[in-house]
Structure 1
Amino acid sequence: MSALFEPITLRTLTIPNRIWLSPMCMYSAAAEGPETGVATDFHLAHLGARAAGGAGLVMVEATGVRPDARISPWDLGLWNDQQQDALARIAALIRSHGSVPAIQLAHAGRKASTAKASSGGGPLAAEDGGFPVVGASPIPFSDGYPAPAELTETQIAELVEDFASAARRALAAGFQVVEVHGAHGYLIHQFLSPLTNHRTDGYGGDFAGRSRLAREIATAVRAVWPADLPVLFRVSATDWVPEQPSWTVEESVLLAKELQAIGIDLIDVSSGGLVPDAKITVGPGYQVPFASQIREQAGVAVSTVGMISEPAQAEAVLTEGRADVVMLGRELLRDPYWPLHAAKTLGAERNWPVQYGYAVGARG
């Protein structure tokens, strides 16, 4: 049996294999009017194809817990019934293909209100649909970006409830896994790192203060999520800024231990995204060592992601005990049937969807 195709059980949920679709923003929701933040037929086709292609878990992109939480006006949201109903259709389709539907809940903080990536990104003017941004401290992301308004403690309490409310809606929509996005320079990460958190209240200062928001959101989401279903947390293991006081893999280990005690079932390990000038050493599997260190030192299940493209490479990550799950992003954009091709390569053949059997010499 290939390690990639061994099921994994988190709480009472068994996920059929360890090839999972990483959440990636598609910038394809309606940006204006009553359908703002609502998933479209594109999302249905896009995510359904990855489920049909054999991914064990299919995770919906970063989904804003409130209107001003989105990275861009074209991103998904989950604060009203219309958004919930559209996502329910997607969750049902994913399950119909034997995959597990998951969703990532997010707040972009100072990196919110930007243009589409395909349009070059960057801050979006109010006349183009932009909106005010908030953050841990009033420090802009980069030159030309607005300084975020520093969140008050009252606003923080409201934001924690926004995450809980979105998690309730995700459950009602049929998702079996929810992930809190605490990485890539978005709001929770902005609180975690001393580069972006200069607060002097109970949400700043030392590790305990800077990690308080992450713990409060994790606690609130875990409290409304069924005890038999898993909650995940994505973390950037490092800011890649070793020359300054910043978020490090050692602090990620400490956070992982605390999240596990709260009831988080798997740490989704990525890195970077906080500052635009980080010096990142990129190469095949470049983030696997971070996942491995967190797994070993925190004693928690982890996933890894980043430039994993070959079946043998992914298989080795698991057989060597460096991670429990492999998240694929760009590779599954290029080939939604990567898991089925990988199964054949690794001698763990899986049936293709019966509708496509003529093309592959099997009818399912």
Structure 2
Amino acid sequence: MGSIGTSSNLDNTPAPGVPFYTPAQNPPAGTPVDKASAPTLFQPLRMRSVELHNRIVVSPMCQYSADNGHLTDYHLVHLGQLALHGPGLIIVEATAVEPRGRISPQDSGLWQDSQIAPLRRVTDFIHSQGVKAAIQIAHAGRKASTLAPWIGGTANKTVADESVGGWPNDVVGPSAIPFHDDHALPKELTTQEIKKLVQKFAEAAKRAVEAGFDVIEIHGAHGYLINEFLSPLSNKRTDEYGGSFENRIRFAREVTEAVRAVIPETMPLWLRVSGTEWMEWAGQPSWTVEETTKLAKLIPSWGIDVLDISSGGNSFEQQFPDSKSFQIDIGRTVRKALRAEGINLTIGSVGFITDAQIAHDVVQEGPEAAADLALVARQFLREPEWVLRVAHELKVAVKWPNQYSRAGPRTDFGKKY
């Protein structure tokens, strides 16, 4: 028998591949002890070369806390605490591909190389916990140059003017139609400007690869630029980027194909869309579930691996249903239509996934499953340890972070790592 301290089994092994010491989480927190009996929510999911250890994803959430597009220590702490508790994937907030593509002056950016290193600090820490890291690249379009919500709400004002770092006279969109009376009037993009924006998405994607991300998501939802092109409410163009369905999806396709061309073949690429604008009541053309389904059938050929389905955000007059399952139901509709045609595109569902049973049911295997991944946003702001609570409520014994394991549930359902 070897003496104490000499056995490699007694080493507090460092996490691999990161430039600082922290103990390895092997396996990561949130991994089930008994995979064979675990529900789908706690089963792994593989996309190209990336495997998530469970199906729970931290959805991108703007924090309005960046310094000229650069992440700060705030983001490291904010996202780091989420990584400690074992989601399968964490998606960094909407990150602008050019300065005027930010929602607010304090939004994240990837338009210059100096923004790579702060992001790398975040991906390194996420990876040190055995969790995968994604980033959502975006352009706010006509909803740009706005104040952080806690400032705008207090001041009863939306637009960030030049005095606070805004650019209200340089907001752009597919057409010169403001989102609302209290938003800036956008300038209609020229065809040449559109082509340049496609390249800016590709350049941001290359920087995301350098920053160490495992997954890239393109933001095509919530009334931001790509969504604005998709919708006949905000896109009144008469050129090749407007009018027909094929023309309105052209910008999304060109962005996707440009990004796919510059990232590794092994890297998963996601697209987030609003499944509907909730404007059917108005009796005018809008983006609908039917068009989302039509788009979903096309995007695998563009190189998309996951369709992340949200809804709304492109009209101030949208009318949501009373049911809290309205976004989950859209995902179910789209997924069912795809599976009926033998299309196995992975579907992510987001919205009001706040408790264990809802998360379980969204992804549970079966022909009627709403999605393959459960994306959770605000609930993680309330409970950074939400993954562990969900596991406990579903009676799934999971690995806890090593440093926190002594605080784990006393009832471990008879199973331990």
TM-score by length of structure 1 reads: 0.96
Q: What is the match of residue 333 of structure 1?
A: 381
Q: What is the match of residue 88 of structure 1?
A: 120
| Matching of residue 124 in structure 1 with residue 150 in structure 2 | no
Q: Deviations over 1:291-349 (max 9, x none)?
A: 11211223321100111111111111112421000000011111111111111222222
Q: Deviations over 1:117-151 (max 9, x none)?
A: 11126111222211110000000111132220100
Distance 1:123 1:73 in 2: 11
Q: CA deviation at 1:21?
A: 0.3
| Matching of residue 14 in structure 1 with residue 47 in structure 2 | no
| Matching of residue 115 in structure 1 with residue 147 in structure 2 | yes
| Matching of residue 312 in structure 1 with residue 357 in structure 2 | yes
Distance 1:301 1:247 in 2: 21
Q: CA deviation at 1:284?
A: 2.7
Query: What letter is aligned with 1:233?
Result: L
Q: What is the match of residue 274 of structure 1?
A: 314
Query: What letter is aligned with 2:59?
Result: S
Distance 1:337 1:145 in 2: 37
Query: What letter is aligned with 1:124?
Result: A
Distance 2:322 2:145 in 1: 28
- The range that moved more, 295-304 or 223-232, is 295-304
Instruction: Tell me the secondary structure at the aligned position of residue 20 of structure 1.
Output: strand
| Matching of residue 213 in structure 1 with residue 251 in structure 2 | yes
Instruction: Tell me the secondary structure at the aligned position of residue 217 of structure 2.
Output: strand
Distance 1:221 1:348 in 2: 38
Q: Deviations over 1:27-79 (max 9, x none)?
A: 0112xxxxx11001110011111111111000000000011100001000011
Q: What is the match of residue 33 of structure 1?
A: none
- Answer yes or no: is the 8 Å Cα contact 1:62–1:181 preserved in 2: yes
Q: What is the match of residue 90 of structure 2?
A: 58
Distance 1:333 1:70 in 2: 22
Query: What letter is aligned with 1:83?
Result: Q
- Answer yes or no: is the 8 Å Cα contact 1:340–1:349 preserved in 2: no
RMSD (Å) for aligned C-alpha atoms:
1.3
| Matching of residue 168 in structure 1 with residue 187 in structure 2 | no
Q: What is the match of residue 291 of structure 2?
A: 251
Distance 2:181 2:49 in 1: 47
Distance 1:145 1:218 in 2: 28
Distance 1:246 1:361 in 2: 49
- Answer yes or no: is the 8 Å Cα contact 1:231–1:266 preserved in 2: yes
Structure 2 unmatched runs, 5+: 1-37, 411-415
- Answer yes or no: is the 8 Å Cα contact 1:2–1:347 preserved in 2: no
Q: What is the match of residue 2 of structure 1?
A: 39
| Matching of residue 197 in structure 1 with residue 229 in structure 2 | no
Distance 1:8 1:247 in 2: 30
Number of residue equivalences: 359
Distance 2:379 2:395 in 1: 20
Among all aligned residue pairs of Structure 1 and Structure 2, give the percentage whose two residues are the same amino acid.
47
Larger radius of gyration: 2
| Matching of residue 342 in structure 1 with residue 390 in structure 2 | yes
Query: What letter is aligned with 1:306?
Result: G
Instruction: Map 1:18-97 onto structure 2 (within 5 A).
Output: 18-30=55-67, 36-97=68-129
| Matching of residue 151 in structure 1 with residue 189 in structure 2 | yes
- The range that moved more, 158-167 or 289-298, is 289-298
| Matching of residue 181 in structure 1 with residue 219 in structure 2 | yes
Distance 2:297 2:101 in 1: 27
- Answer yes or no: is the 8 Å Cα contact 1:283–1:307 preserved in 2: no
Distance 1:282 1:37 in 2: 37
Q: What is the match of residue 305 of structure 2?
A: 265
Instruction: Tell me the secondary structure at the aligned position of residue 109 of structure 2.
Output: coil
Moved over 6 A (4+): none
**Gap change, CA 1:144 and 1:313, over 3 Å in 2:** closer
Instruction: Tell me the secondary structure at the aligned position of residue 268 of structure 1.
Output: strand
Q: Deviations over 1:225-253 (max 9, x none)?
A: 11111000000010100022100011111
